Amino acid sequence: MGWDRLLGQEVVKRILQNQLRAGELSHAYLFTGAMQAEKGLAAMLLAQAANCTADNKPCGVCTSCRQIELGVHSDVRQIAPTGNSIKLQQVKSLLTEAVLTPNIGPYRVFIIEEAQALTREAANALLLMLEEPPQFDIFILTASAPVLPTIESRCQILRLQQRVSSGAGMDGNPELKAQQASYRVQAQQLLGELTKRPLMER
């Protein structure tokens, strides 16, 4: 549970865990690298940790953590591109909530997926909030391409490492390795038989 779900990202986990213990979370984060699903998971876990009611944050089982996992927590909002961009109106609707004190937990958390898709107008609107954010707000951006330098400069950048899932799966599964080796032998045998046949029999 909790940070254990974020596999192979020990540096990022250690940074965030240290900030949580010290009570010094940043007001804005930018997750880069890795696949979007993994960046999204990191963003969700950070949102859970910020509002978790347990000592070991995020616990994944308290009411707050469960609501965030289900996408129904009243203090956590998430936006993503509609079509090819994140539009000004999407950011405006988010910012109207950013000035309100949290309903339940200590923080309002705003997750912006694929932040490189922000239109210039949307990015400028977000920038105004990032320059002087309320103390109870945390903005978490994910990006698979560069964002505006002015946005990047106001975020703590955390780069997630790419993981090679195929190799990891084989190393941890001897049966899978043996099965794949058997398939390779069969393929080589079949190829050898085909090359020995006369052309008319193929």
Which domains are seen in the chain, by residue range?
3-159 (3.40.50.300)
- In a 10 Å sphere around its CB, with 0-12 CB exposed, 13-18 middle and 19+ buried, how is residue 184 labelled? exposed
User: C-alpha distances in angstroms, 110 versus 28, 167, 172, 195?
Assistant: 9, 35, 37, 61
Using the structure block, give the residue that is written with the tokens 């994944």: 60
Residue 167: the pLDDT is: 47
Mean pLDDT confidence for 104-119: 97
pLDDT digits (tens, 9 = 90+) for 134-163: 999 999 999 999 999 999 999 999 999 886
Percent of the chain with pLDDT strictly greater than 70: 80
What's the chain's Rg over C-alpha atoms? 23
**pTM of the predicted model over 0.85:** no
Give every CB contact of residue 12 below 8 A, 6+ residues apart in sequence: 6, 42, 158, 159, 160
Q: At 168, is the pLDDT very low, low, confident or very high (cuts 50, 70, 90)?
A: very low
Mean pLDDT confidence for 73-96: 96
**How far is Cα of residue 24 from the mean position of the Cα atoms in its chain?**
21
Strands 137-142, 108-112: parallel, antiparallel or unpaired by DSSP? Answer: parallel
Mean pLDDT of the chain: 86
